[in-house]
């Protein structure tokens, strides 16, 4: 799953910036405080890009004959090759040169036909992980509740009378719950804003 995190860097070429569906995705990136950089060939192309509404989301501009050359030059100078980087382009890219970079290709020859199809795939993938992680968290919560209930009633199985084993029986589902929630937040499956809203409602 692509992690839309603040540590991510997004490179977008001028052709992709003109896509009408791009604004929805850029708004998502902006909500995650991601660094978005526009790749242009020259100053003339930059001036044309400034007339687009989506240009307002850009944090920086880099120059290059194509998006890959601009990325290589900028990332190498800033030592960002090991960072999580997304490329949004309709150009043909040699993927052998970007093994450590997340590449999103668009267009007829790309992985996705357009941005809308990419967003649909991402949404379906997030829902799938929401279901999986939610099941783990619910099961963990049930096990924690059962542990607490039997401990309070004093009817723990004989094997759990050992304090260390009882501690492990409680900590394992608790660790699974915390790990699942933390993983969901890191992968943008769960939103902390939803958690705060839930706590406010309580």
User: Where do the structural domains in the chain lie, given as residue ranges?
Assistant: 9-113, 124-201
Q: What count of Cα atoms within 13 Å lies in the side-chain half-sphere of residue 175?
A: 6
**pLDDT, tens digit, for every residue of 38-87?**
999 889 999 999 999 889 999 888 888 888 777 777 666 555 555 567 77
Neighbour-count burial of 51, counting CB atoms closer than 10 A to its CB (0-12 exposed, 13-18 middle, 19+ buried): exposed
Which distant-in-sequence residues (6+ apart) come within 8 Å of 49 by Cβ?
Answer: 14, 17, 38, 40, 55
Tell me which of 33-37, 74-78, 141-145 is least confident.
Answer: 74-78
Other CB atoms within 10 A of residue 78 CB: 10
CA distance 2 to 65: 27
| pLDDT for position 185 | 77
More confident residue, 133 or 81: 133
- Do 27 and 119 form a contact (C-beta atoms < 8 A)? no
CA distances from 140 to 68, 164, 198 (A): 45, 19, 19
**pLDDT, tens digit, for every residue of 183-199?**
887 777 777 666 666 56
CATH ID of 9-113, from 3.40.470.10, 3.40.50.720, 3.90.550.10, 3.40.50.1000: 3.40.50.1000
Instruction: Please give the DSSP secondary-structure letter assigned to residue 36.
Output: E
**pLDDT, tens digit, for every residue of 18-33?**
887 788 888 878 877 7
């Amino acid at each position: 799953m692509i992690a839309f995190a603040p540590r991510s860097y997004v490179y977008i070429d001028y052709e992709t910036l003109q896509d009408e569906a791009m604004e929805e995705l850029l708004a998502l990136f902006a909500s995650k405080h991601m660094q978005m950089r526009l790749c242009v060939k020259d100053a003339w192309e930059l001036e044309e890009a400034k007339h687009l509404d989506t240009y307002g989301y850009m944090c920086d501009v880099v120059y290059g004959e194509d998006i890959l050359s601009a990325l290589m030059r900028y990332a190498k100078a800033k030592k960002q090759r090991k960072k999580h980087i997304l490329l949004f382009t309709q150009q043909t890219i040699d993927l052998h040169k970007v093994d450590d970079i997340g590449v999103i290709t668009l267009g007829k020859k790309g992985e996705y036909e357009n941005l809308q199809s990419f967003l649909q795939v991402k949404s379906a993938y997030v829902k799938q992980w929401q279901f999986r992680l939610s099941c783990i968290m619910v099961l963990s919560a049930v096990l924690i509740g059962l542990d607490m209930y039997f401990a309070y009633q004093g009817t723990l199985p004989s094997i759990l009378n050992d304090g260390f084993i009882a501690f492990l029986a409680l900590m394992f589902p608790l660790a699974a719950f915390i790990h699942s929630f933390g993983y969901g937040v890191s992968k943008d499956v769960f939103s902390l804003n939803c958690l705060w809203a839930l706590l406010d409602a309580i």
